[in-house]
Structure 1
Amino acid sequence: MSATIGFIGTGLIGAPMVERLLESGRSVVVWNRSPEKLAPLLAAGATAAGSMQELAQQVDIVCTCLTDTGAVEDVLFADNGIARVMRTGQLLVDLSSIAPDATQRMAERLAAESGARWIDAPVSGGVPAARAGRLIIFAGGDADDIARAAPVFDALSQRVTHMGGNGAGQLAKSCNQQIVACNLMVIAEMLAFAEKSGVDASKLPAALAGGFADSLPLQIFGPRMAAGIDTPRLGAVGTFRKDIEQVGRLAHEVGALIPVTRAAIERYREALVHADIGADGDASRLIRLTRGVS
């Protein structure tokens, strides 16, 4: 019997994940605080639940893909949270990017209160990889539980790496975001430098492809930065700021030195209050910090 999957958090990257699950033949139940946002997913074959708890009661695996640690905690442990109705052995697969230490605490609480099992499974690859089922997943939790989550992982990812116990997947994602967030800021500075030096910046992503300077962020965001394109949004500045601020906190707690990352943190703080960037702006707008556009 195939597993039924529930999905809470059908936003920028959650929606294409649901679409991919449906395309792969999975049965998916969805819920969103704004029901009208579910229309495209329902048209694609998903089933809507009347509440988060109703969703959790109907499915074998509950997936969450939410904005931050607080949102995940609310979905699980608020008065109407799903932990109240989850059952022994049921899987919670958290695809969000949240705090590793909070993940470990919540996993322990979920197990104690309901007997359900937690897998932290943050992803990398962005919206294009989500649509193609080519995400990279960093998994934290029990190896047997991760194997049982195959109906989700096989549809969404090209690779799942078991990093360790609960929280280890989120810590690996923090390492990933440390590189990505710093890389995006340097890409923005590089393109602005090229423009001021008289080089056609629009040619640089293709020119650098395959060399040591190449990266997916360069190929995805570089052309958008050079052309001044910021829609559709592929990654919010506020999300990268949240992730890199978390790296700063975790590094401080373990005594790791991250001077380059801390410089990037300050630049993301500037981007959040920049008149033409802001938390909701696409990361392609980061070039405006260096161009001086306001």
Structure 2
Amino acid sequence: MSATIGFVGAGRIGEPMVERLLTVGHRVRCYARRPEVRQRLSKAGAQPVDVLSDIATSDVVVSCLYSDAQVLDVLPEVVGAMDTRTVLVSHTTGTPGTLARLDAFSGTGQVAVVDAPFSGTPETVRAGRLVVYAGGEPEHVATARRVVAAYADPVITTGTRGSALRVKLLNNLLFAAFSQLTLAGLEAGRRLGIEDSALLEALAAGSGGATAGRYIADRGGAEAFATAVTPFLRKDLAACTDIAADDGVDLSVLLAAARSGPMRLGDDPNFEKEAVE
């Protein structure tokens, strides 16, 4: 069943999401600041809007922003204009506390929000194979599932609001640790006279391999991989530190493993992407 979708955050991942939503028959109102993005989305069939709050008059609002800071900068205006029946689907990997802060901007005191962080690339979005984790009230998750099915499979239900973010952050914490170990292994291999490509191929078939090895190979090697993922993993490790403090959970062993290695993931995470592309 088609719906009217409000969308903000049509960047590298968000733009193909909009394209997929249009392909399956949804009507999309999209807010984008960059003229070239607005032009492309309009040509694809979306309705660009000039005022951010105009996306709030939709059945579902989808947000694909980079960080907690951007969520708090962009979404209060949207939440304040949303109808009580509108569900907000937030794809940002951040902290549950940030979503809770949006409640203050709602006329009802609580936003119908589904935290829906994802794992994947623009290519998996276009193939309809993005992995999405979904946390929230069952009826809100059901609504979100019908919408994100345009570009996501599987959609993994994790529990109440905030649970999907916790799942995704733990996933990224482990990914960071495995990445550090794999990159350190590649360094050791070079010292032993082993080419990166040979070791990555062996790890892909052997018991010592992890998904990180496949990502490193797909990116074209250790240097390109580290350049691409370091800003995102720094941000997510900072969020892990926050939820550990907020929830009173000791993540020190995992955080130490994730920060130790060739990637300098313990550095300042204050790296911002453009908020509304």
With normalisation by structure 2, the TM-score equals 0.84
Distance in 2 (alpha carbons) for counterparts of 1:230 and 1:183? 13
Deviations 1:91-110 (A, max 9, x none): 1000111111222342x435
Aligned to 2:275: none
Shift of 1:271: 5.8
Deviation of residue 111 (structure 1)? Answer: 5.1
| Secondary structure of residue in 2 paired with 1:96 | coil
CA RMSD of aligned residues (A): 3.0
Q: Which moved more, 1:83-92 or 1:263-272?
A: 263-272
The answer to whether the 8 A contact 1:205-1:223 is kept is no
Letter in structure 1 aligned against 2:151: L
Indicate conservation of the 8 Å contact 1:202/1:227, yes or no.
no
- Which aligned pairs between 1:234-245 and structure 2 lie closer than 5 A? 235-245=228-238
CA shift, 1:237, in A, is 1.7
Name the SS for the 1:270 alignment partner. Answer: coil
Any unmatched runs of 5+ in structure 1?
A: 281-294
Aligned to 1:76: 75
Distance 1:213 1:63, change over 3 A: farther
Could you say which residue in structure 2 is the equivalent of 1:29? 29
Distance 1:44 1:214, change over 3 A: farther
CA distance in 1 between partners of 2:46 and 2:82 (Å): 21
**Cα pair 1:87 1:115 within 8 Å, conserved:** no
Cα shift at 1:265:
3.0
Maintained 8 Å contact 1:118/1:141? yes
Aligned to 2:187: 192
Instruction: State the one-letter code of the partner of 1:14.
Output: G
Partner of residue 123 from structure 1, selected from 95, 118, 121: 118
Residues 1:172 and 2:167 are matched in the alignment = yes
Give me the identity figure in percent: 30
SS of the equivalent of 2:11 reads coil
Query: Which one of the candidate residues 239, 244, 248 is aligned to 1:246?
Result: 239
Q: Which amino acid aligns with 2:33?
A: R
TM-score between both structures, scaled by the size of structure 1: 0.80
Structure 2 residues not aligned, in runs of 5+? 273-277
Map of 1:270 onto structure 2:
264
Specify the SS of the correspondent of 2:153: strand
The residue type equivalent to 2:199 in the other structure is L
Residue 99 of structure 1 aligns to which amino acid in structure 2?
Answer: T
Change (3 A) 1:260 1:171: closer
Q: Which residue of 1 aligns with 2:20?
A: 20
Deviations 1:266-289 (A, max 9, x none): 658836879xxx969xxxxxxxxx
Kindly indicate whether the alpha-carbon contact (under 8 Å) linking 2:259 and 2:265 is maintained by their aligned counterparts in 1.
no
**Paired amino acid for 1:61:** V
Q: Which amino acid aligns with 2:4?
A: T
TM-fit CA distance, 1:222: 2.8
Between Structure 1 and Structure 2, how many residues are aligned?
Answer: 271
Indicate how the Cα distance of structure 1 residues 104 and 35 shifts in structure 2: closer, same or farther if over 3 A, else same: same
Bigger relative contact order (CA 8 A; separation at least 6): 2
- Residues 121, 260 of structure 1: CA spacing in aligned structure 2 closer, same or farther, 3 A cutoff? closer
Query: Aligned partners of 1:268, 1:87: CA distance in 2, in Å?
Result: 48
